[in-house]
């Protein structure tokens, strides 16, 4: 996912709230490159991942937009 695509997706999820997107790129002397993709929406915690997809997965989970159980447990619990 490109930065511009991530920015547009975050703006849509933020629904007009303040939001922030950051890319932290570290290149070590041995050539190893580490990335940290950071997302924030006002009223929630920052989330990060090594890719935009991983960061958005965490954000979706935090916002309650994660995957829904195919067969959720909807049976009432019986008291004893």
* DSSP result, 31-76: S-EEEEEEEEETTS--EEESSHHHHHHHHHHHTT-SPPPSS---SP
Q: Is residue 79 part of a domain?
A: no
Q: Is residue 73 part of a domain?
A: no
> What pLDDT tens digit does each residue of the chain (80 aa) get?
899 999 999 999 999 999 999 999 999 999 999 999 999 999 888 999 999 999 999 999 988 875 555 555 566 666 65
Say which CATH number the domain at 7 has: 3.30.160
Q: Is residue 78 part of a domain?
A: no
Q: What is the pLDDT of residue 45?
A: 87
Q: What is the pLDDT of residue 70?
A: 57
What is the tally of structural domains in the chain? 1
């Amino acid at each position: 996912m490109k930065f511009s695509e991530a920015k547009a997706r975050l703006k849509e999820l933020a629904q007009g709230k303040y939001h922030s997107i950051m890319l932290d790129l570290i290149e070590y002397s041995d050539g190893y490159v580490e990335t940290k993709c950071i997302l924030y929406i006002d009223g929630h915690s920052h989330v990060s991942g090594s890719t935009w997809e991983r960061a958005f997965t965490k954000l979706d989970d935090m916002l309650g937009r994660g995957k829904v159980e195919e067969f959720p447990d909807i049976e009432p619990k019986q008291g004893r």
